[in-house]
Amino acid sequence: MSAVSWVPVVDGSPFPVANLPYGVARVAADRHVVVAIGDRALDLTVAADLGLIDDPDRHLAGPDLNPLLAAGRPRWSALRARVGELLTDRQFAAQVTPLLLDRHDLPLVLPFEVADYVDFYSSEQHATNVGRIFRPTQPPLPQNWKHLPVGYHGRSGTVVVSGTPVVRPHGQRRTESGPAFGPSARLDIEAEVGFVVGTPTGLGRPVSTASFGEHVFGVVLLNDWSARDIQSWETVPLGPFLGKSFATSISPWVVPLEALEAARLPGPRQDPAPLDYLRPSEPWGLDLTLEVSVNGQVVSRPPYAGIYWTADQQLAHLTVNGAALRTGDLFASGTVSGDAPGELGSLIELTWNGTRPLKLTDGSTRTYLEDCDTVSISAFAPAVGGGRLGFGAVAGTVAPAIPPPAY
């Protein structure tokens, strides 16, 4: 979609007409489906009520995107085409203008009800760095890492929208005298890309890499907050649990897959070649550059283009055993890191587990996050027709730990 919108869009806006990401906003006492265009947001719920958009099955009625997600690719494409028509054909300006809301003052909510959440571990650079930190005398990558996309099941109930405070979690930590209980002292972030599932499947029916576009609606930014001290003590033998499940933040705007056509590229060469069910049939790598800020200071720009296991392979792997997809499923890339020091997607890497403190412009340093710190992750990608499009941001501020009840 490369036509020019009659709605003013300033140069460099993350939301040109080539983007048109979906969100959900509180409007009066209700929740409406909206789409971002420049500094405005078009109220699709009202547009459908007025007959400007054909919506016989009430996919746009709210209170979340799940009815639209479940409708499938033909409906997604038709709706995107119609929204583009409303915003580029000036004959609709008089009818549409009253439906444009100020995007900056819009109270956005979690855009979809999350069904299941799976987090992967698919950046070779990140996995190598973490392996060197935690297992310095062993090979950094586990034996299985280049044969399958390693992942774990997260907790969908603690996926929250950008802006939600993140309370410092309690848990067990390892000390020289044995396990101790208390607030995490090594609170970290993970800069990730998340994929939102629309069309469900039945139990026992794997999804091939070729069917990725039939099931995945769009993309969000994701911060999988991590308590490294809790995580390192509990991980053996089963993997992440309390060190991850307390909060996962996502951006409020879901960028449709169709908006990312110009960003698609092949993933990196995989050696050894993956098994047949993991072989890509189309290029589903994405030329995205993330930007991580701590208290307003950019500390890293991780490149997603280098991710080893791409999203189509992740989807094929998480369903190959017959696990069913549900509308609203969310799966994430895992921490995105590049080769250079300024391309690392977590503090455990940026500070090498606290041994190389990060210097901020206010003169302070960080090894891990302190209370009241704010972390924001944004991203940009090439847009169809030229220029670039953005994802908005996923941000969160660390709130002090809440004392647990007396036991």
Alpha-carbon distance of 38 to 20, in angstroms, equals 9
Are 256 and 389 within 8 A, CB to CB? no
Tokens of 274: 């993956």
For residue 203, count other CB atoms closer than 10 A to its CB.
8
Tell the residue number behind the tokens 């969310």, with chain if given. 330
Tokens of 288: 């995205």
Tell the residue number behind the tokens 């109220």, with chain if given. 43
Known catalytic membership, residue 126: yes
H/E stretch holding 143: none
Instruction: Give CA separation, 236 vs 39, 91, 170, 239, in Å.
Output: 47, 62, 19, 6
- Catalytic residue selected from 32, 59, 104, 126: 126
Q: What are the residue ranges of helices labelled H in 89-223?
A: 93-96, 124-134, 212-215
Alpha-carbon distance of 225 to 373, in angstroms, equals 13
Torsion sign, CA atoms 324, 325, 328, 329 = positive
Alpha-carbon distance of 168 to 140, in angstroms, equals 29
Nearest to 287 by CA among 314, 259, 318: 259
H/E stretch holding 227: strand 226-227
Residues with catalytic function:
126
